[in-house]
Amino acid sequence: MLTNKITSYLLGIALFLLPCAVAQAARIAIVIDDIGYHQRDMDLLNLPGTLTYSILPHTPYSQRFAFKASQQGKELLLHVPMESTNDKLLGPGGLTSDMGRLELQSTLGHALASLPQVKGVNNHMGSRLTQETEPMRWTMEILKKRGLFFLDSRTTVQTQAQHVANLVGVMNISRNVFLDNDLNEEAMLVQLEELKRIATQNQFAVAIAHPYPETQSFLLAQLPLLSAQGFELVPVSQLVENKYIQLADKAPETPNTVSHLTVTP
């Protein structure tokens, strides 16, 4: 009888502390980019955990993927092709530095209309375009009107995307780690450990991965381990929302003053 009482008492303590443990878990978001060109992309929806998928516009499987992902409650982004410094082909829906405001916003608007399920946007390539403030301002104007956030893939250290997003009033966040620039399993493990380190330090971190078979196998093995290691896998939109809640909590209260939050992780 005494043993049962002790067991019940310990169980009660564990249940009481469980919400605290969950609240303190470092949060990780993993975004799978470059979705839409291959039928095998559909298999990525079978990966465990709460992942975010970023779909290239006007690609052969973009609509099919978005429909099935939405049925499963998966979070989606629009992966907007943007001009790079090495002049790589952008594919359909690409934004370039020689576009005027009307053409750029029309191109982006058409891409967004083709995938109404998306909650935000991130850049595909863009090492040149994200350095230019004017095209970024035109981009953010569209996102502001549609209530979408921006994830800066950070394909260049000179990116102006988040700075401009802050000026326009678009909620934003940035990528911390690319998981699979090197498809060797040991290299991906190194990147995953870096992601965990950043998440532990900052309480959250964002990784971008790609629809390679090697990446899929790696994530299939590693994602189920995160919870036991003290990490919570969440959609990237949750990190965006939490970021601005934290910034609002830290902002000093100044009467009759509007505070512009420009801190970027």
Question: What are the tens digits of pLDDT across the range 166-203?
Answer: 999 999 999 999 999 999 999 999 999 999 999 999 99
Query: Which H/E stretch holds residue 217?
Result: helix 213-222
Sign of the alpha-carbon torsion through 181, 209, 160, 82: positive
In sequence order, what are the residues at sequence separation of 6 or more whose Cβ sits closer than 8 angstroms to the Cβ of residue 185? 214, 218
What is the rounded distance in angstroms from the CA atom of residue 217 to the CA atom of residue 228? Answer: 20
Predicted confidence (pLDDT) per residue in 17-49, tens digit: 444 444 568 999 999 999 999 999 999 999 999
pLDDT higher than 50, residue 208:
yes
Are 243 and 173 spatial neighbours (Cβ–Cβ below 8 Å)?
Answer: yes
Predicted confidence (pLDDT) per residue in 129-141, tens digit: 999 999 999 999 9
Instruction: Identify the pLDDT of residue 64.
Output: 98
pTM, two decimals, is 0.85
Predicted confidence (pLDDT) per residue in 79-114, tens digit: 999 999 998 999 999 999 999 999 999 999 999 999
Phi, psi values for residue 11, rounded to 5°: -65, -40
Instruction: Identify the pLDDT of residue 87.
Output: 87
What is the rounded distance in angstroms from the CA atom of residue 69 to the CA atom of residue 89? Answer: 27
What is the rounded distance in angstroms from the CA atom of residue 129 to the CA atom of residue 82? Answer: 6
Residue range 52-70: mean pLDDT, rounded: 98
What is the rounded distance in angstroms from the CA atom of residue 32 to the CA atom of residue 79? Answer: 10
Predicted confidence (pLDDT) per residue in 65-87, tens digit: 999 999 999 999 999 999 999 98
| Residue 137 amino acid letter | R
Instruction: Identify the pLDDT of residue 9.
Output: 43
Task: Annotate 9-73 with DSSP letters as a single string.
Answer: HHHHHHHHHHHHHHHHSEEEEEEEEEETS-GGGGGGGGSSS--EEEEPTT-TTHHHHHHHHHHTT
